[in-house]
C-alpha cells in the first residue's frame, strides 16, 4: 500500500491508506476527496492475481506436485497480504485519531476509513479463503476469529448515521468524546487479525510481512518530496 499521508489542506487529507502498488494497477492519487474515495476501485477489480481460494478434490499424486496445491499457496499469500494490509490501515487510522490531525474533517472520514478497511480489502472473503486452507478445528476457529474482526468494524459503522457520513448516532455531532468508541473497535480488529494469523504457519505469515515491508520501503524511497511531507508513514509490519 502506498503507505504515505501527505500534508495537504484539510479538505483533501487522506485519513486512510490507499490500495497498494501490489494490489492495484494505477492506484488512486495520494490525496483524494471523499467522493473520489467512494468511487475508487476495489482490490478484486484491479488486482494482479485472483484473490479467490482454489480448492481441488482431486487426489494428489505421489510422484507429481498437484497444480491445485500451487494455486492454493498463491491464493493463501494473496489473502494474507490483504488481511495484513487491512491491519496496517487500521493502525494508521488509529494514529490519525490519536494525533488530533485533520480534526475538522475527522467526522466525515472515519466512517469512510472503516468502510474502506472492511470492504476494499474484502476482509470477509479473504478470511474465509485463507481459513479454507487449514484443516479440521483450526479452519473453524480461524473462520470465527475472522468474522469477529469484520463484526468489530461494522459495529463502529453503527455509530454513524447511514444517511449522512458526517453524523454520529450517539451524542453530539462531533468526534469529541466518541474517539474511544472508534479506537476500541479498531484495536479489537487489529487484535482479532493477530489472533487469526496465529492459526497459520509463522514462516508463511512472515514471508507476506516481508513483502509488505519491502513495498513500503520502496514507496518511501520513491516518494516525491515536492508533493508534501510524509506525516503518517506505515507502521512497521
Domain-located, residue 23: yes
- pLDDT value of position 58: 31
Nearest to 182 by CA among 100, 93, 118, 105: 93
From CA 93, how far away is CA 101, in angstroms rounded?
Answer: 11
Question: Are the CB atoms for 3 and 216 separated by under 8 Å?
Answer: yes
* DSSP-based three-state secondary structure for 145: helix
From CA 128, how far away is CA 98, in angstroms rounded?
Answer: 32
Tally of CB atoms within 10 A around 190: 18
Domain-located, residue 85: yes
Domain-located, residue 69: no
From CA 20, how far away is CA 85, in angstroms rounded?
Answer: 8
- pLDDT value of position 226: 75
How many structural domains does the chain have?
Answer: 1
From CA 233, how far away is CA 231, in angstroms rounded?
Answer: 6
Tens-level pLDDT at each residue, the chain (237 residues): 333 333 333 333 333 333 333 333 333 333 344 444 443 444 444 333 333 333 333 333 323 334 444 455 669 999 999 999 999 999 988 888 787 665 545 444 788 889 899 999 999 999 999 999 999 999 999 999 999 999 999 988 887 665 554 544 444 455 666 778 889 999 999 999 999 999 999 999 999 999 999 998 888 888 777 776 665 565 565
Question: Are the CB atoms for 86 and 193 separated by under 8 Å?
Answer: yes
- Residue partners of 145: CB distance under 8 A and separation at least 6: 127, 192, 195, 196, 199
From CA 118, how far away is CA 153, in angstroms rounded?
Answer: 7
- pLDDT value of position 159: 76
Domain-located, residue 138: yes
Domain-located, residue 2: no
Nearest to 28 by CA among 41, 9, 13, 44: 41
Q: Which domain holds residue 162?
A: 10-47+74-227
Please give the model's pTM, rounded to 2 decimal places. Answer: 0.64
- pLDDT value of position 103: 53
Domain-located, residue 111: yes
Domain-located, residue 129: yes
Domain-located, residue 163: yes
Amino acid at each position: 500500500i502506498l503507505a504515505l499521508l501527505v500534508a495537504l489542506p484539510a479538505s483533501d487529507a487522506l485519513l486512510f491508506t490507499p490500495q497498494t502498488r501490489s494490489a492495484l494497477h494505477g492506484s488512486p492519487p495520494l490525496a483524494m476527496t471523499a467522493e473520489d474515495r467512494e468511487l475508487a476501485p476495489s482490490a478484486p477489480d484491479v488486482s494482479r492475481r485472483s484473490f479467490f481460494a482454489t480448492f481441488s478434490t482431486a487426489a494428489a499424486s505421489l510422484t507429481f506436485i498437484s497444480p491445485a496445491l500451487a494455486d492454493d499457496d498463491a491464493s493463501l499469500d494473496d489473502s494474507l497480504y490483504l488481511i495484513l494490509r487491512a491491519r496496517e490501515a487500521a493502525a494508521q487510522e488509529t494514529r490519525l485519531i490519536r494525533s488530533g490531525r485533520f480534526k475538522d474533517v475527522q467526522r466525515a472520514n472515519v466512517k469512510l476509513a472503516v468502510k474502506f478497511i472492511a470492504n476494499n480489502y474484502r476482509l470477509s472473503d479473504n478470511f474465509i479463503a485463507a481459513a479454507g486452507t487449514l484443516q479440521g478445528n483450526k479452519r473453524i476457529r480461524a473462520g470465527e476469529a475472522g468474522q469477529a474482526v469484520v463484526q468489530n468494524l461494522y459495529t463502529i459503522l453503527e455509530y454513524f448515521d447511514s444517511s449522512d457520513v458526517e453524523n454520529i448516532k450517539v451524542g453530539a455531532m462531533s468526534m469529541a468524546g466518541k474517539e474511544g468508541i472508534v479506537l476500541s473497535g479498531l484495536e479489537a480488529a487489529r487484535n482479532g487479525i493477530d489472533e487469526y494469523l496465529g492459526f497459520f504457519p509463522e514462516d508463511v505469515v512472515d514471508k507476506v510481512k516481508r513483502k509488505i515491508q519491502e513495498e513500503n520501503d520502496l514507496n518511501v524511497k520513491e516518494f516525491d518530496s515536492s508533493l508534501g511531507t510524509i506525516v503518517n508513514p506505515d507502521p512497521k509490519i
